[in-house]
Amino acid sequence: MKFAEFKKAGHWPTLLAAFLYFDISFMAWVSLGPLIVYIARDMNLAVNEKFTLVAIPVLAGALLRVPMGLLADMIGAKRTGIIAQLVVIVATAAVWQFGLTDKLAIELFGVALGIGGASFAVALPQASRWYPPQYQGVVMGIAGAGNMGVVLDTLLAPTIAEHWGWQAVFGCLLIPMLMVLAYYVAAAKDAPGERKPISLKAYGVLLGDSDTRWFMFFYFITFGGFVGLANALPLYFTVQYHVSGVAAGLLVALIVAFGSGFRPVGGLIADRIGGIRALSILFGIVVAAYLVIAFMPEGPTAPAPGGWALTAMPRIAWISVLLFSIGVLALGMGNGAVFQLIPLRFRHEIGLMTGLVGCAGGIGGYFLAQTLGAAKGMTGGFGAGFLFFGLLALLGFIGLAMVKVRWRTTWGAVSGARV
């Protein structure tokens, strides 16, 4: 791919605006994950209740993606993006000023943060519609790499919370939120062409297509695994390996950086060798990583009340970090590979498909966090939860083997790109 040709092929200011919008929205969406240890410190909540709280924004973001997609088709992606950013900014400012005093307040704030997660259904189609088929993998990868916002969350939030209190984190978050909104208003443009309002019936028609359901299942695994781990791992490391909140944040920042940073690489590789082949390899890596993690033992208790510092962590914790890094890298690249295929199959329904597939991915993240919490509550460990998702990734691998011949000989043969 030649950069000069790519730059001329679409509208790069909109691509950058979509990336930043998704990035800052994703940052808000997963902000409860690294902060739940601090927010719920005095609420006497069980571990499984904390996992439920960090999963609420994920579920809300998943369910709101379809209505957000509908709204974008009705009034335009840019207007929808502006409204969504304003809602999340207002909710964040309110928490910065007034805090979260009980479990219900956390749940309601989680729903508001879900609007940030639903930005996926606006930002990705907004960028995609500007570019031809041969660039869809890298374009959707770049726009979708906005999920690297979780890296900044997990890297900075615990340290800010330790020094100035967890409410200060949301005050700091408002600064980039307002800057991104200003750039988005100035630079983003909706792609030319008549906008056709989409009805709920159209979603029903697409759901009747088996290819739609396959894509939803594949993204349930890849994006669900990524966002579920991004939310759950800070709590997981503090419980499983008894590390401090700051150490957990640094570890998760390292892990999710692989998944978010390599999403465009996954799309680029899928453009080169075909999305089916790329996704098959990545599913195999995910299966292996999850299955090994499922049998990892708990780490030793820390001598200090605050937990192990980063430099004093036991070896078993570092082995776990390595395994999670490999698995999350494969999940992130898998996200890019899935969205290399979708525009080739559903070029004219990309907005609808982004909403449906994104909804499935968000639900996958919710169920991963819930499954880990339930496994801990019922068995005393997290192994059963990771086994469950390892088997799902194996089913994804088998599913690709079932559809690849049909896809390559039907719509793939006339798509204009490698499938």
Task: For residues 355-371, give the mean pLDDT.
Answer: 88
- Torsional class of 281: left (φ above 0), alpha (ψ -120 to 50), beta (otherwise): alpha
Q: Which of 109-118, 129-138, 304-313 has the highest mean pLDDT?
A: 109-118
Task: Give the model confidence (pLDDT) of 179-224 as tens digits.
Answer: 999 999 999 998 777 666 667 788 888 899 999 999 999 999 999 9
**What band does 389 get if pLDDT is binned at 50, 70 and 90?**
very high
DSSP state of 274: -
Q: Helix or strand or coil: residue 241?
A: coil
Q: Write out the CATH class of domain 12-187.
A: mainly alpha
What integer pLDDT is reported at residue 83 of this predicted model?
A: 95
Where in the chain do CATH 1.20.1250.20 domains reside?
12-187, 207-418
Q: Alpha-carbon torsion 318, 324, 325, 326, what sign? A: positive
Structure tokens at 2: 């030649």
The overall average pLDDT reported for the chain is 88
For 207-418, CATH number out of 1.20.1250.20, 1.10.3720.10, 3.40.50.12780, 2.30.30.280 equals: 1.20.1250.20
Give the phi and the psi of residue 150 in degrees, each rounded to 5. Answer: -65, -25
Position 1 pLDDT exceeds 60 = no
DSSP codes of every residue in 347-385: GGGHHHHHHHHHHHHHHHHHHHHHHHHHHHHHHSSSHHH
Q: What is the pLDDT of residue 397?
A: 96
Q: What is the pLDDT of residue 5?
A: 64
| pLDDT band per the 50, 70, 90 thresholds, residue 145 | low
